Structure 1
């Protein structure tokens, strides 16, 4: 098997073997904790010494009291060489190995072994390998120590492994190399090799727990990591189970100690906080005295630092606890519970829970109190585990279901969506769906909204509004139901949820009584079937700014707020929400808020902040398993990529969005993906491709059909349609935006309506519309769209031969695009700006290929030479196909050619000169 992270150790072994081959023998002790990989290094050395005679043995606790037992195993393959020794040495060695009755002293035996090995080394190098040397018998240990210190002039290497630093004892004076744990990167590689297909969460947990121990890295991923009902689950987390190999490796030292010492180790293992005083008080009734403490501390298994106890390695603690009989563990927990100070409610509850062997309502109630303490200090995962254990000890299904529902809520708030879903399902099996919906505050609908089908989420949420006891929670669920229906592109379901929200009675809650009218004003604005007055719109605008202290569920979808043009103040609200959620460590809700912050920053031209918010939201969403929030973040990143001209990133983000959104019917996300692809094509001068994607947003029944996205995308749809000459769809799109602007007065819609009208008008009317778009108060608040208006206006001015005015607009647009990093549109603005420059020199005659083409003729010629059609050239240059034909006719005449095929032979990058006159 490949050794990961052992380059230094294998290099040392290679050097040792190379030197020995040259006659400079040596001994080396490899030491370190059990399972750290010492045996694997011995195997490496054996494989590397393929031309050597290998003598090996392994220490055994069962034979540790038998003199020369290990030496017998070591020399058995070369017993026939005893005849080569001097008679006294041969007799002494035969007596030691039980081959005769001869008796002699140990020095003579050591000398015999040295003579035997040296004789072998004269024929070929010798490698002596002793594994688990801490367990070999004392007589063999002294003999091998004698050998290892005297082979410096022989072709001999003596390798031994042990658990302790050989600073004293039989290996004193020998070189030693400590083998330590693997670095995280190497540990990850080992896990991937040992357990192919292990998911990232399991790998991370294994690496964190194993502490770099290779044996643990091999064995832990194959074990069941659900917390054992008997495990001491406390502030430091679950006690990892250990398998038989780990138990044998780590528990052997403890097994050899006195009963009081083993009791002390078990108490320390069960007391997960490492409180020395608590262990001391608990051990007083178990016969643990000063002598016992001395024994345990001398063993090195346990260390004291002030008032804290800690095991030398966490796996020692796990092995000691896991290897103890169940009754002993129960007794240890009861003793620790008694020894705890009066205020340690949570710790006492857990120890009593670990000692319980059946339902116990008193202990379950204590655990429930402990969970409440966890929630107050924002320890959601611990609260969820505590409540789950309380449910296991509950004597009735109703009590168990109630506690599982509360555990699910705690897990969700802590960002553990999958855990929350499993706990909720367990609770429903005990109590039924509606009781659990009431107990969990309608969590099943929230979970479905976060990573399921929005239509199903709507159904759950509307249903659960009627069963949750708190009116405020009913309003929150109804608000999310409206959002779910909007996400699904279902106006009918929106109306159903809106009616439910409007029907909620505040029930004497003064805060809700104040909040409900505000929400109803907002939702009246949201209701696309109702009339909107300036007064109502102003109240709705104020609504958004008053939601800062409300739950995240009450916040409206940011794109819809933008569509209504009442997003002022919403960013501050989201920032307040983010700060609160960070403080409470509610990761799932924080992911939602950050995803929406990214949308606002994007619209305000704060692209760097938008990218940071989307990236953080994506990381959080993936961490907690909130698929829909993750796709929202991909949407913001895809929008940025489209504007920046990063086609590969657009494809990557939109593919990920559609992979989630289409099967689940989340039309708002599917529409966003199509929109980003359409914009990327439009900005990349591929209007026909852009139009094909953008028209899907308004196509009834299409997977990407969504009214809000279609409304926003109208500015792109009309521009693409004008470029390709598709007038059939233009007027309907323009009217849709203008009607929305008239209904809402939204700044973006008013500016967009004027801009789109300018694209379909001619003459003075077009200029008036462009000017009106730029003069809309607040339009510059979206710098990207404002710059797009200036770009289109500048192109119109250039075609009207008003070069100076065009340069002013185009330069301003190019500056904004450059600041934002919108490279495709910046390049387009600069190209247009170059066409506005007046000629600096008269046209000069030249060779036949230098025919004095104008700048526009040269552009047309180059595109035609690339085999673009007249319509495709017209779309790129924003001129009509008829004008393209006119320019090509001039090109053919000036160059003396007759067809596009001839154009392909012209060197347009060579000495062809042109003039801008007549452009």
Structure 2
């Protein structure tokens, strides 16, 4: 198909080259251009381009006309209105050159004048054909001639025979004849003329055409259009503007089409007898291709054997045994859309009566399509059909079926109930906006509480996924008392707790927990309620730790694999409690179940959380794939919060890999949602990720700028769980900046949590932080304890970070061989994971550890006098500006000197610099042997 930017014109019979873009069609255009070149070389040719309406035949002809330079172009188009007018199309074709008739032999000129009504001479068809050949041959002696007849299937019979006569006799003349037809030309007047079938565009070219026809079209619209259009270029341009919801054809009504497609396909049917048109309408409305049903339905419409013969010979309908198939999926759409509404209703009634007794679902849809007002009996049938759709995970169709059932419901209460059920089906299928609209409609008809019961408290779940967390908590806690069944109330209560946790509101979290604990869990697995309490009793109403937690082992967590996703904890909370391993197995089972049920919104959430656990387990490629898929699904269903979770997982990987653009892009987009909607868990995660990136790049001050707000009450990023999880990073950055009080406070928080929960990560982090703070003989024991504990719940990245810190300490105390062992292991892990910044740091440290020298090499060796003075003052705790004032230099010069001092002394921060004796012999204060 063509997208025109400019149109070629014909001036004085000469084709001027225009500007146009063809999508695909490389084979067809190459063939046509060869024929054009052949005509330019003195040899003629003819070709029939054939294919269904809208397939792009005219675009190819336009391409040839625009490519023709120095050529006389004669062009016309067949029309149905002139089909019965003998030689009407030939007259239109030759009108521009009728002044050349005098150059023909008299008999030929007289025959043409008679054919065109210019004279009363008899219209001898052979003489007319010969006259046309002679006329074009004379024109071709001046320059090549291009003859184009579009829609040749509609030219009158006399012209068709004349054109066939011409096409078979131009091989020795520089004349190119191109005809276009809807059907295979072999049995008609073009018999013996070379033909080329024009078929649908490949998917890639089809996507490009949709994108060009509808600028800004999203991926879902493009893919849906490509799937429906079957490569038909006209459909690819028209379908995106129709506004159709895709379905599987079971709704009883074919897809709507645009006016050009409808006109193109219906024109072929209008030439058929009424009974045949009725048969085609029945086949289009039936939708499944069941010939027996269509035949029974057509019994009262005059459909007989001759009708079937005409329908099958029309080229529109094909039959294989008992199955019917239209030539193209757009044919039934056009025929159905072009039929009068009363005829469509009558067709559906006839089809419903013709269906076998067991086909209740299809009967329901046909009766619904035939209904002209409220009909409870049909609405009941549709509701039953929707239930069967849900059994086979056809959520979108179930939602549409229930919506139609609501339309046909005489009682507003029944209509509201069916709309609420439709909203739940739409949500499960991933249509958040559609679910919200259906809920709104249902509440307007039936009130709030009945809709809450029917939808299972969907309003709060929707708000939690795409709206304000605190508002979601309000809906969810309130709806716990309205919904039917303890299990549903537990699910809402758990999501309410999760919403409060997301908002960083421990007080609201306690409210939800209190409602949960007040439920009677009869019939539920015994450990479920204590397990839920384990998740949500972490903090009191102020955000402080609330005492020892109930034991939560792997077996208890595993029980949650049989419950809905709503009962699962957010992953950061599970990580904090140290049960991320068992939870990952549960999430993997949940993802498989949700895939089978095609519950896209829930699947996106589970994928987002699984990706976080994959990062912690060192499965970075798996994490990236899961987060990317989750992001795509979340964007499709409009789940903004879940999309942000996926982006932050990808941002965490970008931080570790040193991918600054990726980090900035993902965190910026996540913050745009989380800050506006008050989702502090997401905001805190974004701050944490940015802080980690700065820490990995050796910018501890910038790291603290992002990390400190996590523990500052009232800040947009304040969140107790993330403040706890980020405590090791905060303490490390604070240590490098010499902020010992901050580091000590984070160490206390981590040690307290480790005693309270026994979480392996907390115990390991506490050992590492003690090693950073020790600065004496206890340092090595703390590092060894951290490494020994890391193997219980392996996080290769964090273990490599510990080895890096340990290796740096070993190098500073001149144990180079031991340092190289730890640093090499760290560098290898960072290289395997792709953690470029920390790998570079490990490699740099390896280079320092490999340097030869005396056992007690002076710490200040290689420093200039000014660098030594700067280092001494920095070790005493002076800031850059204070040092600058003391030495009468600029603070920027101080920074430059420190940038040289650190690598020369093998340190990375002021805290490490303070441990070096800058007086006397500049020996390390820390004891430790050399190699």
TM-score, length-scaled by structure 1: 0.90
How far did 1:853 drift?
A: 10
Q: 2:184 aligns with which of 165, 175, 182?
A: 165
CA displacement at 1:728 relative to structure 2: 4.5
Are 1:150 and 2:169 counterparts? yes
Task: Please state if 1:327 is matched with 2:346.
Answer: no
Gapped runs of 5+ residues in structure 2?
5-20, 872-891, 920-928
Q: TM-score, normalised by structure 2?
A: 0.89
Given that residues 541 and 567 in structure 1 are in contact (C-alpha distance below 8 angstroms), is that contact kept between their aligned partners in structure 2? no
Deviation at 1:186, TM superposition (A): 2.0
Match of 1:474 in 2: 489
Q: Are the equivalent residues in 2 in contact too, given 1:803–1:836 (CA < 8 A)? A: yes
Equivalent residue for 1:378, pick from 390, 393, 404: 393
Q: Which of 604, 607, 617 is 2:617 aligned to?
A: 604
In the TM superposition, what whole-angstrom CA distance separates every residue of 1:746-765 from its partner, at most 9, and x where no partner exists? 22112212221221222113
Residue 911 of structure 1 is matched in structure 2 by: none
Aligned to 2:7: none
Match of residue 700, structure 1, among 713, 723, 733: 713
> Distance between the aligned counterparts of 2:553 and 2:854, measured in 1?
61
Question: Conserved in 1, the CA contact under 8 Å of 2:760 and 2:793?
Answer: no
C-alpha displacement at 1:494, in angstroms?
Answer: 0.7
User: How far is 1:242 from its partner?
Assistant: 1.7
TM-aligned CA deviation for residue 155 of structure 1: 2.1
Q: Which of 676, 688, 705 is the aligned partner of 1:663?
A: 676
For 1:275, the equivalent position in structure 2 comes to 290
Q: CA deviation at 1:392?
A: 0.8
- How big is the alpha-carbon RMSD for the aligned residues of Structure 1 and Structure 2? 3.1
2:900 and 2:208 map into 1 onto residues whose CA distance is 54
| Structure-to-structure mapping, 1:307-346, within 5 angstroms | 307-346=322-361
SS of equivalent to 1:839: coil
Q: CA deviation at 1:219?
A: 2.2
Q: 2:238 aligns with which of 212, 216, 219?
A: 219
Residue matched to 1:516? 529
| CA deviation after TM superposition for structure 1 residue 883, in Å | 8.6
**CA–CA distance in structure 2, aligned partners of residues 641 and 473 of structure 1:** 39
1:486-885 matches, cutoff 5 A: 486-506=501-521, 509-511=522-524, 515-525=528-538, 531-533=546-548, 537-539=550-552, 542-776=555-789, 779=792, 781-837=794-850, 839=852, 868-872=895-899, 877-878=906-907
Superposed displacement of residue 577, structure 1: 1.4
User: Given the superposition, is the C-alpha separation of residues 753 and 147 from structure 1 closer, same or farther in structure 2, using an over 3 Å criterion?
Assistant: same
Q: Work out whether residues 704 and 730 of structure 2, in 8 Å CA contact, stay in contact via their aligned partners in 1.
A: yes
**Between 17-26 and 427-436, the greater mean CA deviation after superposition:** 427-436
1:178 aligns with 2:207: no
**Residues 147-206 of structure 1 deviation map (CA, whole Å, 9 limit, x = unaligned):** 122122222111111111221221111121211222222222222333333333333222
Q: Tell me what 1:133 maps to.
A: 152
Q: CA deviation at 1:780?
A: 5.5
2:142 counterpart of 1:123: yes
Could you say if the C-alpha distance between residues 42 and 867 of structure 1 is closer, same or farther in structure 2, counting changes exceeding 3 Å?
farther
1:644–1:823 Cα contact (<8 Å) kept: yes
Is the Cα contact below 8 Å between 2:735 and 2:911 reproduced in 1?
no
Please tell me whether the aligned partners of residues 873 and 881 of structure 1 are also in contact (alpha carbons under 8 angstroms): no
Distance 1:92 1:179, change over 3 A: same
Q: Deviations over 1:718-764 (max 9, x none)?
A: 11122222334222222222222222222211221222122122211
Equivalent position to 2:458, from 413, 431, 443: 443
1:586 is displaced (CA, Å) by 1.4
The question of whether the paired residues in 2 share the 8 Å contact of 1:635 and 1:672 is answered with yes
Distance 1:800 1:886 in 2: 11
Provide the C-alpha distance between the structure 2 equivalents of 1:918 and 1:797, rounded to a whole number of angstroms. 10
Secondary structure at the residue paired with 1:729? Answer: helix
In the alignment, is the contact (CA less than 8 A) between 1:681 and 1:689 conserved in 2? yes
User: Structure 2 CA distance, aligned partners of 1:880 and 1:283?
Assistant: 88
Using the TM superposition, give the Cα deviation of residue 484 of structure 1 relative to its aligned residue in structure 2, in angstroms.
Answer: 0.7
Question: Which one of the candidate residues 375, 379, 385 is aligned to 1:360?
Answer: 375
Q: How many residues end up aligned between the 2 structures? A: 877
* 1:774 to 1:202, Cα distance in 2 relative to 1, 3 A: closer
Unpaired runs of 5+ residues, structure 1, are 844-850, 891-916
CA distance in 1, matches of 2:738, 2:202: 63
Distance 1:871 1:440, change over 3 A: farther
Alignment map for 1:273-312 (pairs within 5 Å): 273-312=288-327
SS in 2 for 1:741: helix
2:152, 2:212 → 1: CA distance?
A: 29
Separation in 2 of the partners of 1:547 and 1:765? 42
Shift of 1:874: 6.2
Matched, 1:68 2:83: no
**550-559 or 33-42, larger mean C-alpha shift:** 33-42
Shift of 1:271: 0.8
CA deviation after TM superposition for structure 1 residue 266, in Å: 0.8
- Paired position in structure 2 for 1:192: 211
Q: Distance in 1 between matches of 2:470 and 2:275?
A: 63
Conserved? CA contact 1:835–1:855, under 8 Å: no
The residue aligned with 1:100 is 119
Are the structure 2 counterparts of residues 445 and 522 from structure 1 closer, same or farther at C-alpha, using a change threshold of 3 Å?
same
The separation in 1 between residues aligned to 2:351 and 2:252, in whole angstroms, is: 17
Distance 1:888 1:776, change over 3 A: closer
Give the deviation of 1:522 after TM superposition. Answer: 4.6
CA drift of 1:374 comes to 0.8
Distance 1:853 1:141, change over 3 A: farther
Q: Match for residue 426 of structure 2?
A: 411
Distance of aligned partners of 1:498 and 1:615 in 2 relative to their CA distance in 1, 3 Å threshold? same
Instruction: Determine if contact 1:779/1:786 at 8 Å carries over to the other structure.
Output: no
How many angstroms apart in 2 are the aligned matches of 1:856 and 1:568? 50
Q: Secondary structure at the match of 1:99?
A: coil
Residues 1:478 and 1:139: Cα distance change in structure 2 (over 3 Å): same
**Offset of 1:887 from its aligned partner?**
11
CA distance in 2, matches of 1:438, 1:41: 59
**Counterpart of 1:252?**
267
The answer to whether the 8 A contact 2:432-2:639 is kept is yes
**Who is 2:15 aligned against?**
none
Q: Give the secondary structure class of the aligned counterpart of 2:280.
A: helix
Deviation track 1:24-76 (CA, whole Å, cap 9, x = no partner) reads 11211111111112122222222222422222222121211111111111122
1:21 equivalenced with 2:37 (yes/no): no
**Could you tell me how far 1:769 is from its partner in structure 2?**
2.6
Deviations 1:429-463 (A, max 9, x none): 22233332222111111111112111111111112
- Cα offset for 1:542? 4.9
Give the secondary-structure state (helix, strand or coil) at the position aligned to 1:546.
Answer: helix
2:415 matched residue in structure 1: 400
Partner-residue secondary structure (3-state), 2:561: coil
Judging changes above 3 Å, is the alpha-carbon distance between structure 1 residues 778 and 85 closer, same or farther for their aligned structure 2 residues?
closer
2:771 is paired with a residue whose SS is helix
CA distance in structure 2 between the aligned counterparts of 1:523 and 1:889, rounded to whole angstroms: 52
**Does 2:258 correspond to 1:243?**
yes
Alpha-carbon distance in 2 for matches of 1:621, 1:875? 46
More moved, 290-299 vs 733-742 = 733-742
Assess if the C-alpha contact under 8 Å between 2:465 and 2:641 holds in 1.
yes
Matched-pair contact (CA < 8 Å) for 1:857–1:887: no
Residues 521 and 49 (structure 1), Cα distance of their counterparts in 2 relative to 1, 3 Å cut: closer
SS, match of residue 141 in structure 2:
helix
Secondary structure of the structure 2 residue equivalent to 1:589: helix
CA distance in 2, matches of 1:881, 1:513: 55
Contact 2:183 2:315 in 1 (8 A): no
What is the CA–CA distance in structure 2 between the aligned matches of 1:612 and 1:380, rounded to whole Å? Answer: 26
| 1:109-133: CA deviation from partner (whole Å, max 9, x where unpaired) | 1111111111122222222111111
Residues of 2 paired with 1:145 and 1:794: CA distance? Answer: 89
Deviations 1:582-637 (A, max 9, x none): 22221221221122112222222333332333233223222322221121122222
Closer/same/farther in 2, CA of residues 831 and 53 from structure 1, 3 Å limit: closer
